[in-house]
Structure 1
Amino acid sequence: MKDELFIRGKVPMTKEEVRTISLSKLNLHQAKNFLDIGTGTGSMAVEAALTVPTLQVVAIDNNPEALTLLKANQEKFHLNDIIGIQGKAPADLTSACESGDIPAAYDAIFIGGTGGNMSEILEWSFQHLTDTGRLVLNFILLENALQAIAWLKENNITFDACQLQVGRYTTLGQGHYYKQQNPVIIIECSAEEKRSELF
């Protein structure tokens, strides 16, 4: 989906090319439900729901503006079934699970923001992934990516990582160039092999 299709504000949005690759790594066509942590504008949640109409989608963000944008994009694309939570992960996710408002286990989890709770969110995610569940994380800051990598290594979780930098074809005077966007680090891993060793 083109970025310009989304209603946007001042909160971060996972950009088109990064979104496409991140969604593909989540194997959503084999998933029943999907959790988007740090949803921002809701672009990941919305495109996931449009791509797999049977998917149950839950999205959380601590920023009230993010939830307003998520709801606006839901309405624009006529998606009534995305569950939006304004709250802090993982504490408010745990509360919602215990109350039965959201599923307790997920086939796919995307982490686009952690709000400083990296270790807690990673631990919660692996506790709530199904046995074959997929986890994908996006980072702009190298320090945050390295913190996630250190946690994964410490817990003996096999992962793959890449850096993606997109250049957009742009006019400059009489010529053209590729205007570079911020590079994004994408980390992917699975609960399949390591769940029994972790918990």
Structure 2
Amino acid sequence: MTDAPITDPKVLRALSHPFRWKLINLLTEQGPSTATQCSAKLGESVASCSYHLNMLAKYGFVAEVEGPGRQKPWRIVKRHQMISTEGLDEEGALAAEAAELAYLEQEFERIRDYQKLHEHLSEEWRDHYGISSTTTFLTREELREIQNEMRALLDRFDERVENPELRPEGARAVRFFVSTAVSQD
């Protein structure tokens, strides 16, 4: 699934706070949650969670779930965000850079947290945890092909995020973080 890049500086600035990325990730993995539930899981105040959820809702990333009761859970609306400075004016490019840096900050924090908990995983899961990198030489077309193949492979399991009933017994949230960097040759 390829979404169009976000080009509105206001929307990009809404993503420039690392805690908002944590909320997006939590709602993606845990499903609909109230601000109180987000607070308990993320260790942030209910007021702060509510504020940041409302900011994400303002720009269409999350929405309240309709239903009875005073406390409404929030659900993820837009799971895939594409951020690029390509073609943006200076204001937009600065906002895109801030959003990218906020995303990376929370993602690296998350990787560090997972690394600390690695030893507490059961052995069968511990064997599959890891960080690796490689360098190879590709043409632009080959790189695009690899990226498309990786996206297609992971997209096969997207329905399990949206519909927990489709998750096989024993399934856990597994995070893939892929970064592509190209040399300046």
TM-score range, shorter chain: under 0.3
Larger Rg, first or second structure (1 or 2): 2
Instruction: Give the alignment's TM-score, normalised by structure 2.
Output: 0.28
Q: Which has the larger strand fraction?
A: 1
Instruction: Give the alignment's TM-score, normalised by structure 1.
Output: 0.26
